[in-house]
Structure 1
Amino acid sequence: MSDPTMTSYGAWKSPITADLIVQGTISLGQVALDGADLYWLEGRPLEGGRNVLVRRTREGKTLEITPAPFNVRSRVHEMGGTSYLVHQGRIYFSNFADQRLYTQTLTTDPVPLTLPAALRYADAILDGPRQRLICVLEDHTIADREPVNTLAAVPLEGTEVAPTILVAGNDFYASPRLSPDGSQLAWLTWNHPNMPWDGTELWLGEVTAAGRVVNPERIAGGKKESIFQPQWSPDGRLYFVSDRSGWYNLYRWQAGQVEALLPMAAEFGEPQWFLGQSTYGFASPTRIICTYSQWGTQHLASLDLTTGTLEPIATPDTAIGGLQVTPTHAIFLGGSPTEFSAIVRLDLATGQRELLRCSSDLVLDPAYLSVPQAIEFPTDNGLTAHGFYYPPQNRDYLAPATERPPLLVKSHGGPTAATSTLLNLRIQYWTSRGFAVLDVNYGGSTGYGRAYRERLKGQWGLVDVNDCVNGALYLVAQGKADGDRLVIAGGSAGGYTTLCALTFREVFKAGASYFGISDLEALARDTHKFESRYLDSLIGPYPERLDLYQARSPIHFAEKLSCPIIFFQGLEDKIVPPNQAEEMVEVLKQKGLPVAYVAYEGEQHGFRKAENIKRTLDGEFYFYGRVFGFDPADPIDPVEIWNLTGA
């Protein structure tokens, strides 16, 4: 190995290219078991983001199940979630294009099961004795009316069948779960203005021989208690996760009472953005395998229900999701700062860990990878906030000793979500070119308890911005970042934080908004049902607090912007319509500030096509290069930048 070359930050040549990222990477999700067979979804950027159902047999053979152009993806709540079910080799799935349920076997092509109507299905379970599916149904059949959510049954036999409503009356439903003997149905429900992490209710009803749900009873939850993942044990007891203590902990419904299993300052649950999320499962009636989060890192453990003892399970994985459990194995989506997300099978007896499918086949020299460092830094009101700091790292380069690196601050989406330490090439893209990165878990993020999550109540656009700003200034004071080259970027809700920081504060010198929110009032008026009242808790009730919506909307204060910004936008985005970005762009043009706008046909809220992911990564880097005056080491297709001579 030759000695490193002395070169300024930002001009380092990196093997982690945008082409490499999109060509070698897929997304993995929705792991499910059917006997000895394992199933999962693969999101493939090179196929336009199509979600393909894949099967792995007991012999280890991997087979693609759903043929093109089928795309296994539900749009219930717009966010979707569990979109397929497999039972004894028969598959039932939601198809993205028409949202109908289809069925197929391992040897036949998909055929439609449900009517061609404006109905959406998700989170289905099998009711074998009654030969039907029970699922979340979302009815869009009447225009100009809010969609109606219910729990419904769909017969397994026939074609173009109609659903039968089982439970109705509330705004939202999730997690229908049938007891092992089929006699009881548990489910989650909640109403506007709550989001599921604010408050949900766990209900239990009896199921008659004819399939009706009768004698429903609320057994846990409320407006200020969030319930997550009800699940029946093999011996017919109902378990769930609740944050009634201030932390998402495990509970059991027994003899008409709620029983805490393991009080602990840790998060055994997650924000329910998607239907069907799973953080625990049963290896036996007396043993739970679970994952929990503490201070931004996830852990795998075994809970003995007889003794109440929690035993850690050794694994290098620091990000764990989609946990499925058998008597002998735990199967999950796992990864670490140096390992890509993968489907992991872990032997519960021996601890042997096997990677069944990796999200990337790339083999990278770890000398090019930046390993994140968890940091806790002071912020407003005497509090502290959290994040992960990634220093610049490239074995081939060093920067002059007197130079400090440019810092990219990333504000995650949600905003009720969190970033993790999972190997992310879209971060390594930057650090291997000489940027430092701060991935902020600002107040309002999940994984740190309910009190931390609720810091954003009524404070969105304030607390998150302060934490991003204070995190950046903390690293400047530590000598780990150049105060004259601080940039901030984020998508969706993170894009809102980004635009607020660039509009109302004067710390960052440039920024990038990916489908970021600039007009809160438009979001409150026009967004989809699931998030239509989200802002009630984050900002205030609308329109009663119109003053707050206007005061915290960057679009009304664009004249305060004083630095260059690049915008990336999907032209079919229904959550944050393109006009929000376009109005900001026009104001910046008129102000004479450097601005770029990259819009994508056929993209919605987030980019799925390989060519657009590549264009976004390279385009943002190119933009900063022109703004800060460094030359990227590789040729990059230029982005049109208005008013660049004024930079």
Structure 2
Amino acid sequence: MEQEDQPLEDATWVARQKVSIDELTFAAGVLWWLQNSPSGGKTQLMRSSGAEAPVPVTPPGLAIGGWLHGYGGGSYAVGDDGVVWFIDGTDSGLRRLNPESGHVEAVTGEGGFLFGDLSPAPGGVLAVRGCDGGDELVLCHAGESSVQVLLRSAGFLGAPRLLGDHLAVLEWDEDQMPWDGSRLLVSRLVSDGVPESPKVIAGGVEESVVQPMWGPDGELYYLSDRSGWWNLYRWDGVRHRAVAPMDFDCAPAPWEAGYQSFAFLADGRIALTVQDGLSHRLVIAAADGTVRDVDVPLTSIKPYVAAHAHWVAVIGSASAEPPAVVDVNVDANVAPASSPAVVSAKPAAVAGEHRRVPGRGQLRFLMHRPSVDEPVPLIIRAHAGPTDEVRDRLDWTKQYFVAHGFAVAEVVYRGSAGLGRAFRTCLNGNWGTFDVEDCLAVARHLVSEGLAVPGAVFLSGSSAGGYTALQAACVQDSPLAAVTAISAIVDPVGWATTAPRFQRAHARTLAGPAGAVRAEKVRIPVLLMHGRGDQVATVADAEALAGELSIRDRRHEALFFDDVGHYLSKPEVLAQALRAELAFYRRFTD
């Protein structure tokens, strides 16, 4: 039985601690962001003037957030008049909110479109709306229920930004992911509001451009990986100049719309996030090209930077501290929290250690382990994506396993974002091979160092990480005793037809010789956990694999959840999954 006086050992307690804070902006003189927690259930729009405690703006029971391109983002925009445009979490339709009265007005949600990537425009809002046939950029004016279509694409559109009559927008083809290749388009709106034929000013099939934004100087700023790293550039209408060149990524892979990893201070300086291995830094770039770090106690900063005067607000967290909206005086390095942690009685959490595997190039991992001087059972984690990062921030589910005596190592395997274009793209055509090799290399290293108990090493992964875990279970002479695959992709070829339109190119680009997971190739016990409502990784593949595995070996286990999608995020479901995973590993450690 779980101990009530040891909350980190209690799966129910742990499952209720997750707090999500996203989409931070500064508009109409105040800070805005989205926030939810398991206890609240709905994603709310929050507002803070700095002098008062944050307050929810959206009415109770209303949820914000949609599914444009499968993963949503850009879920709200605030005009200079304080009117809020947002995406309704029930149908991904566009709505308008008067924050003072709380009145919500339906704008549009018809025609099978999914809306998102909102950006304020004079007297209205720009939005991207998508369907299986492509994307459209639309403009909606206050007081109107219809929208004006400005641009159409058979591929994808994103990040619309308007300055006067100049429009910037991103486009990428249907057979590419935006982190592989995208184009920055600029056009001018003519008298009737229709844009002229757009001009490609940056990007291409081998260059990823993300996060365009018009600067206060009227120039267009954007992040490009043309140097091999996502760095900041500016375009004055004729020439492109690097703003702060460095051999670091200053942006994450654009899984969601609405990311903004840089912001302009009142004096023209630019606040910018920098991915530095397993953690993030906040830096200030001056007009002369000099860059200096801002000294704040954060190890993870989300890609939402908002500036006002000489203050910069970010969503930040530390290795053993939960997320908060942090308002930083960049000259005094003062960082009070605008939205402090909501955990009422937070137990002491174990901080992570940044480590490398000797002789394996850039292969690194984030390690959490109990405070003991002896080998312990080890869980290797393969992150989802797989074009994603390992973030050094508080994760209560990791702390749960550490509290139960396990070490947890999260691997920055080849194909991860945050270490430049070459590292990010080297998994293309090698999925199920390079990622598996890197995870097993970390496992072998920790066993050889005497930190992990031989015969008690496990690999766990969700979604694409679940595919990595399943392929690792097929490797001969591996150090693994068992694997856990959550919401796992089983067949990359089949996934290319069932994944959201946005991600189908990812499936085709990644697919390599490893192929589909076959029950006859699996050599060690597997725990499969999957939601029956999963729209990203079809449950049919997981159920078929579970059935075949159970016939071959009764040591395999499977757990399926009704009315649960791709993420096992509901507190009761997450708690059940945590207990099942722990019990599965205990079979090999007790």
TM-score over 0.5 for the pair: yes
Q: Counterpart of 2:291 in structure 1: which amino acid? A: L
Deviations 1:322-352 (A, max 9, x none): 1111122111110111211111111223221
Shift of 1:115: 4.6
**Larger RCO (CA under 8 A, 6+ residues apart):** 1
| CA 1:511–1:36: 2 relative to 1, 3 Å | same
**Residue number in structure 1 paired with 2:568:** 607
The reply to whether residue 315 of structure 1 matches residue 301 of structure 2 is no
Shift of 1:96: 1.9
Unaligned runs of 5+ residues in structure 1 are 1-9, 140-145, 541-547, 631-647
The reply to whether residue 552 of structure 1 matches residue 515 of structure 2 is yes
Give the structure-2-normalised TM-score: 0.95
Identify which range, 336-345 or 460-469, moves more after superposition. 336-345
Shift of 1:362: 4.1
Aligned counterpart for 2:550 among listed residues 565, 579, 589: 589
8 A contact 1:14–1:429 mirrored in 2? no
Q: Counterpart of 1:154 in structure 2: which amino acid? A: C
The reply to whether residue 171 of structure 1 matches residue 155 of structure 2 is yes
**Residue number in structure 2 paired with 1:6:** none
The reply to whether residue 282 of structure 1 matches residue 260 of structure 2 is no
Residues in 2 aligned to 1:607 and 1:221: alpha-carbon distance in whole angstroms: 37
| CA 1:388–1:150: 2 relative to 1, 3 Å | same
Deviations 1:55-77 (A, max 9, x none): 22343133222224321011100
Shift of 1:285: 5.8
The reply to whether residue 330 of structure 1 matches residue 322 of structure 2 is no
8 A contact 1:446–1:452 mirrored in 2? yes
Q: Counterpart of 2:447 in structure 1: which amino acid? A: V
Residues in 2 aligned to 1:599 and 1:84: alpha-carbon distance in whole angstroms: 34
Residues in 2 aligned to 1:418 and 1:331: alpha-carbon distance in whole angstroms: 22
8 A contact 2:319–2:393 mirrored in 1? yes
Residues in 2 aligned to 1:452 and 1:13: alpha-carbon distance in whole angstroms: 44
RMSD: 2.0
After the TM superposition, which residues 169-208 of structure 1 pair with which residues of structure 2 at under 5 Å, given as runs?
169-179=153-163, 182-208=164-190
Aligned counterpart for 1:150 among listed residues 130, 133, 136: 136
Aligned counterpart for 2:507 among listed residues 535, 540, 556: 535
Residues in 2 aligned to 1:465 and 1:519: alpha-carbon distance in whole angstroms: 16
8 A contact 1:301–1:311 mirrored in 2? yes
Deviations 1:471-495 (A, max 9, x none): 1001111111012001010100111
Q: Counterpart of 1:392 in structure 2: which amino acid? A: P
8 A contact 1:115–1:162 mirrored in 2? no
After the TM superposition, which residues 236-247 of structure 1 pair with which residues of structure 2 at under 5 Å, given as runs?
236-247=218-229
Aligned counterpart for 1:463 among listed residues 417, 430, 434: 434
**Residue number in structure 2 paired with 1:80:** 72
Residues in 2 aligned to 1:457 and 1:326: alpha-carbon distance in whole angstroms: 41
| CA 1:162–1:19: 2 relative to 1, 3 Å | same
**Residue number in structure 2 paired with 1:376:** 356
Deviations 1:58-103 (A, max 9, x none): 4313322222432101110010011111223321111121222111
8 A contact 2:28–2:78 mirrored in 1? no
Shift of 1:412: 0.2
**Residue number in structure 1 paired with 2:88:** 95
**Residue number in structure 2 paired with 1:623:** 584
The reply to whether residue 385 of structure 1 matches residue 363 of structure 2 is yes
8 A contact 2:57–2:102 mirrored in 1? no
Residues in 2 aligned to 1:496 and 1:378: alpha-carbon distance in whole angstroms: 26
Which structure's CA Rg is the greater one? 1
Residues in 1 aligned to 2:426 and 2:358: alpha-carbon distance in whole angstroms: 15
Residues in 2 aligned to 1:325 and 1:520: alpha-carbon distance in whole angstroms: 42
SS in structure 2 of the partner of residue 250 of structure 1 = strand
Shift of 1:359: 4.6
Unaligned runs of 5+ residues in structure 2 are none
8 A contact 1:170–1:190 mirrored in 2? no
Residues in 2 aligned to 1:259 and 1:187: alpha-carbon distance in whole angstroms: 19
Aligned counterpart for 1:352 among listed residues 334, 337, 347: 334
8 A contact 2:59–2:102 mirrored in 1? no
Residues in 2 aligned to 1:285 and 1:532: alpha-carbon distance in whole angstroms: 43
**Residue number in structure 1 paired with 2:44:** 52
8 A contact 1:27–1:359 mirrored in 2? no
Residues in 1 aligned to 2:185 and 2:193: alpha-carbon distance in whole angstroms: 17
| CA 1:255–1:90: 2 relative to 1, 3 Å | closer
Shift of 1:35: 2.5
SS in structure 2 of the partner of residue 483 of structure 1 = strand
Shift of 1:255: 4.5
Residues in 1 aligned to 2:581 and 2:419: alpha-carbon distance in whole angstroms: 31
| CA 1:383–1:11: 2 relative to 1, 3 Å | farther
Shift of 1:572: 1.1
8 A contact 2:219–2:236 mirrored in 1? yes
After the TM superposition, which residues 119-130 of structure 1 pair with which residues of structure 2 at under 5 Å, given as runs?
119-128=113-122
| CA 1:372–1:195: 2 relative to 1, 3 Å | same
The reply to whether residue 269 of structure 1 matches residue 240 of structure 2 is no
**Residue number in structure 2 paired with 1:428:** 399
SS in structure 2 of the partner of residue 533 of structure 1 = helix
Deviations 1:261-316 (A, max 9, x none): 222111111100000111100003631011101222211111002x1110111011
Residues in 2 aligned to 1:249 and 1:467: alpha-carbon distance in whole angstroms: 27
